[in-house]
Amino acid sequence: MVKVYSYKRPEFVRRVGQHILQAQDVAFERDPQGSFTVGISGGSLIKTLYEALVADKELAPRVKWPQWHIYFVDERIVPLDDPDSNYGAFKKGVLDPLSHNGDHLNLGPTVYAINESLVHGGPEEKEKLVQEYSDLLPGKPFDLLLLGCGPDGHTCSLFPDAPHEYLLGLKEPVAYVHDSPKPPSDRITFTLPVIQRARDVAFVAEGSAKQDVMHEIFDKKDLSLPTARINSIAGDYVSWFVDPAAFEKVTSVVPE
C-alpha cells in the first residue's frame, strides 16, 4: 500500500533526507561496493535535496556521494546551462555547493546529463539524444526515484489529459515528448515501466497549490493522472512526502 507522510518544514526536509539515506543504506547492504542509482526530478525537489543532503549537518556526512549515480527522470532538451535545464538546476543547487562544502575536497556523484551537442538538432538528433540517454540507464532497477507532482497531476514529463494519454502506454524506458503542455515543449522522460521496476519511489510535494490534485489522486483515484497511475501499479514501494497544506483536502487517507 502507498504510504503517506505529512510534516511541516523543517521536519519535512529531515524526513525526506532520512528516507533517501535509508534507500542508500539498503542498496549498500545488498552490494557494499556497488552504486546507488537514483533518478531525480526538477522543480522544488532540488532545493529540498540541497537542504537535506548538503546543508543538514547530521545527514550530510552520511551521504556516500562517490557511489551515487544520478539520472534525471525528465529533462528539457535545452543546453545544460539554460535556466530550464534540470541538470543545470541540480548543478547550481546541489553539485556546486557540495564541492565547496567545508574545508576538504568533496568527491561528488556521477551525474548523467543529456548529450548537449544534440539539443539544437532536428527530429533525428532528438531521437538519438533520447536513445543515448536510454542506453545510459543502469542495467538493474533504480534503487530510488524521487518524483515531483505538478498541480495537474503530471510527474516526470508524463502529462495527463487526452492528447497525452499515449505517454501512459509507452513501453520504452525513456521517451521523447515533443509537445509538453508545460514549456519547454521538447523533453525526455522516464516512462511507467522504469518507474514500476524501481525498488523505491518517493514523491515529494508541498504547498496549497497541490490540494486539488491530491484530492484527485488519493480520494478519486483518477487513473488518467500519471501520479495516480503510479500509485496503482507500484503501490507497495511508493511513498509520498507531503506537507499538511498539500494534503488538506484529502479525506480518505490519514498520513502516518
For ligand 6PG, the closer CB: 67 or 217: 217
Nine cell digits for residue 179: 509537445
| Chain CA centroid to CA 243, Å | 17
The CB-nearest residue to ligand 6PG is 148
| Least CB distance to ligand 6PG at residue 140 (A) | 24
Of the pair 44, 101, the CB lying nearest ligand 6PG is at: 44
φ and ψ of 251, to 5 deg: -110, -20
Where do we find the cell 540507464?
A: 137
Pick between residue 44 and residue 185 the one whose CB is nearest to ligand 6PG. 44
**Identity of the residue, 149 or 201, whose beta carbon is nearer to ligand 6PG in the bound complex:** 149
Distance between CA 243 and CA 93 in Å, rounded?
22
Task: Return residues touching ligand 6PG (CB under 6 A).
Answer: 41-45, 74, 86, 148-150, 155-157, 182
Q: At closest approach, how far in Å is the CB of 188 from ligand 6PG? A: 10
Q: Judged by CB, which is closer to ligand 6PG: 30, or 166?
A: 166
Beta carbon nearer to ligand 6PG, 182 or 220: 182
CB of 88 vs ligand 6PG, minimal distance in Å: 12
Residue type (1 letter), 233: I
CB 55 within 8 A of CB 94: no
Q: Exposed/middle/buried for 117, CB within 10 Å: 0-12, 13-18, 19+?
A: exposed
At its nearest, how many Å lie between ligand 6PG and the CB of residue 19?
16
| Least distance (Å) between residue 68 CB and ligand 6PG | 19
CB of residue 246 vs ligand 6PG: minimum separation in angstroms?
A: 10
CB of residue 31 to ligand 6PG, shortest distance in Å: 29
CB-nearer residue toward ligand 6PG: 56 or 74: 74
